[in-house]
Amino acid sequence: MLTAFITHPDCALHDMGPHHPECPQRLSGIRDRLLGLGLLDCMQQCDAPRATPQQLGRAHSMAHVRALIAASPKEGLRSVDPDTCMNPHTIDAALRAAGALVLATDMVLSGDAPSAFCCVRPPGHHAERNAAMGFCFFNNVAVGIRHALEVHGLERVALVDFDVHHGNGSVDIFRNDARVLMCSIFEKGIYPFTGEDDSGPGMVNVGLPSRSGGAAFRDAVTRQWLPALGAFAPQLIYISAGFDGHRDDDMGNLGLVEADYAWVTRQIMDVANRHCRGRVVSCLEGGYALDPLARSVAAHVRVLMGAD
C-alpha cells in the first residue's frame, strides 16, 4: 500500500489577488518538488471530492456553510475578513479541500492507504465553527476528524498542529469534545493572538517566543506533546501541517528548518505506530515562502511515507 497524495486542480483556482501570500503557486511548487525527488511516483495520487453540506455541518454550523456558499461572487473578489477574500472559484476549492480530508480518512481507516497527505488550499485551521478568517473558509482537518468520529465510530482522535500560527478554529470546534486531543505549538504574540489561555482537558497548546529555534521546538514536543499523546492512545492522528515557522518564511519567526519538520513527523509516526497502526492523515496549512515550503513538505512527506 502506498501513502495517498490527495489534491485537485480546483484548489489552484482560488486566488485572493496579486501578491497575496496564500497563492496558487504554493501547490504547484510542492508538486514539482515531490515529482523531482521521485516521491510522487511512490504515492497514490487521488482527486479530492467536494465535501457535502452534511460533512461540513459536523464541524460548522449550517448557517456558516450556507452563508459562505451564498457569498460566492460571480466575478471579482469579495472580502470575508481583512486578509481573506473569495473569487468565483473559492467555494469549489474550499469544498475540495475539506473533501480531501473525508477521502483521506476513508482511505486510511479502510486500509486502502497507510497514511495520507492532503495537498490542498485554502487552508483551514483558523476557520471556526461560525466564522471564516485567516485565509481559511472551512476547517478541513476538523471536517475529517468529525467524519472519523461520527461515521467510522472512532473514540479517540489526536490533532497535532505545528503551524507557526495558533489553530484557533480547531480549538473553537474541539474545545469541549473529549474524543479529541489537540496538541499545538505556535509562535506567541502573532496572529490570531490566541492559544496561551487554551489549556485544560484535551488541549496541549504550547506558545514559543520569537526566535526560539529548533531546539526549543523539539524540547516542547518531547516534554509536552509526547506524554499527552502516549496517555491518550489515539486511534488515528491528524496533522495540521503548517511550514510557515521556517526560518526563511517571513510570516513567522520561529526559525525552524526542514530537519525540524522531518524530526517532528518522525515523532508523530512513532506514536502512530505504537497506538494506531501507523494511521496518520496530514493536511497542508501555512507556508508562504515557496521554495522553503516545497523543501519542508518534501521532508515531511518522506517520513510520512516511510522513505526516511
The structural domains of the chain, ordered by start, are 4-304 (3.40.800.20)
C-alpha dihedral sign at 52, 53, 54, 55? positive
Q: In what order do the strands lie in the sheet with 280-284?
A: 44-47, 4-7, 115-118, 280-284, 236-241, 157-161, 180-187, 203-208, 199-200
Which of 162, 156, 155, 108 lies closest to 277 in space, CA to CA?
108
Distance of alpha carbon 4 from the chain centroid: 15
Contact 241, 188 (CB under 8 A): no
Say whether 98 sits in a helix, a strand or coil: helix
- 24-57: pLDDT as tens digits: 999 999 999 999 999 999 999 999 999 999 999 9
Q: State residue 198's pLDDT score.
A: 67
20 HSE (CA, 13 A, CB side): 19
State the pTM of this model. 0.98
Q: State residue 308's pLDDT score.
A: 82
Contact 121, 89 (CB under 8 A): no
Q: Please identify every stretch of the chain with a pLDDT value under 50, giving residue numbers as ranges.
A: none
Say whether 291 sits in a helix, a strand or coil: helix
- 226-269: pLDDT as tens digits: 999 999 999 999 999 999 999 999 999 999 999 999 999 999 99
Please report where in the chains the cell 469534545 appears, as a residue: 177
Q: Which three cell numbers stand for residue 195?
A: 492559544
- Inter-CA distances, 40 with 25, 121, 187, Å: 17, 18, 31
Distance of alpha carbon 71 from the chain centroid: 24
Identify residue 232 by its one-letter amino acid code.
F
Active site residues: 126
Give the integer Cα–Cα distance in Å for 122 and 269.
25
